[in-house]
Structure 1
Amino acid sequence: MKHFQIPGYADVSLQNRQYFDFYKKQLGSLPNLYAMLAHSDTGLDAYLRFHDHKQSLTIPEKEIIGLIVGTVNQSVYCLETHVMIARLNGFTDEEIREVKGGSARFNERYHALAQLVFNIMSTKGHPASTQLEVFFEAGYTNESLVDVMLCIGDNMITNLLSCTMQVPSDFSPGQV
């Protein structure tokens, strides 16, 4: 199987170097997944513009989606990242395990979201009408549903890339 190297600063386009500089200043280094996107002269910029768009979902809601999509796709890299961010946003390890299984009984609204996302992923985009009803009854809107789909798509991109290119972890063993 082909081995994919993480490109370094000198290996990427001038446009991508701005992201290496930004993330080095903000985080100490560019996450490995973003570096892999920099194999394309425009891929990293295109992805980050999509990823950073304004939307109606909260950070915890986006992490619920990320945890479920990463679990279904068995994306180790993405799961490590979403577990870390979920913890930073107040989720306990027990809640994270529950979300990865497609539920969130600790919060009614999150539970409706988790069940819908798990159902969408399990049925390849053909959710049960009852799941949609529960989602809307929990206070979500059509805008929310569109944003859920965009967030699933965002996570699918990174899951597929991380699995296909075997992106190595950004964390030390046992850190997450």
Structure 2
Amino acid sequence: MVDFRFHTPDTAPDGSKALLAEGARKYGRVPAMYAAMAEAPALLEAYDAIQDLFMSSSFTKEEMTVVWQSVNVEHECLYCVPGHTLIAEMMGVDPAISRALRDETPLIDARLEALRAFTLQMVRQRGAVSGDQVEGFLSAGFDRQHVFEVILGIAQKVMSNFTNHVAATPVDGQLEPYAWRRRA
């Protein structure tokens, strides 16, 4: 296994130094995932930008959480599931939503469950969803913009999930209480 470096603002390539410093300012520390991404400044910059773009989408905080955690759980990202559990908590998302997503149990809210189902269809079918699947999503109260915003959220999570798998990113101390493993 390749041993990847987790950078600090002092050890990072020049193109990542400012982004790591901003991450430390924003989160009170450099998240381990950012420290791994810093090896490729373009990846860190792209991730930071796509996260901001998804956060400015038309989705509510609950809907963003559903997209993020559906992908994180599907990809079994041991860093991102805890990370987005904490983020959901900080955003004031109902803990029952986080529990259902982490445990892969149905969401009580039918609209949110439709969003989870559509997100998973997009991931599992690599975007090749059927017209009927799109219609089912739209009939749950979403619009065409949401279809493409799901793609945006998936793109964000592919960047982070794949980074964490390749780099074997350790769960930061702050995330340890939210550690997750898929149930057998």
TM-score class, shorter-chain normalisation, is 0.7 to 0.9
TM-score using structure 1 length? 0.86
TM-score by length of 2: 0.83
Contact 1:119 1:128 in 2 (8 A): no
Q: What residue is the counterpart of 1:36 in the other structure?
A: 36
Give unmatched runs, 5+ long, in structure 2. 179-184
1:33-72 equivalences in 2 (<5 Å): 33-53=33-53, 54-72=56-74
The residue type equivalent to 2:24 in the other structure is K
Structure 2: distance between partners of 1:164 and 1:22: 24
Of residues 116-125 and 149-158 in structure 1, the stretch that sits farther from structure 2 once superposed is 116-125
Distance 1:31 1:43 in 2: 15
Contact 1:112–1:131 (CA under 8 A) maintained in structure 2: no
Which residue pairs with 1:90 in the alignment? Answer: 93
Paired amino acid for 2:100: E
1:144–1:84 distance in 2 versus 1, CA, 3 Å: same
For these two proteins, the number of residue pairs brought into alignment is 174
Matching residue of 1:133: 135
- Distance change (3 Å), C-alpha of 1:86 and 1:110: same
**Separation of aligned partners in 2, 1:87 and 1:48:** 20
Residue 25 to residue 124, structure 1, CA distance change in 2 (3 Å): closer
Residues 35-75 of structure 1, C-alpha deviation per residue, up to 9 Å, x if partnerless? Answer: 21111233212221222113212222111111111111111
1:8-32 superposed Cα distances (whole Å, 9 cap, x missing partner): 2222234422222223233221111
Quote the Cα distance in structure 2 between the aligned partners of 1:131 and 1:153: 20
Alignment of 1:77-156 (within 5 A): 77-88=79-90, 89-92=92-95, 94-100=96-102, 101=104, 103-104=106-107, 106-156=108-158
- Superposed displacement of residue 174, structure 1: 4.5
Q: What is the alpha-carbon root mean square deviation over aligned residues? A: 2.1
Any conservation in 2 of the 1:103–1:115 contact (CA below 8 Å)?
Answer: no
* In structure 2, distance between residues paired with 1:95 and 1:25: 29
**For the residues of structure 2 that align with 1:95 and 1:164, how far apart are their CA atoms?**
28
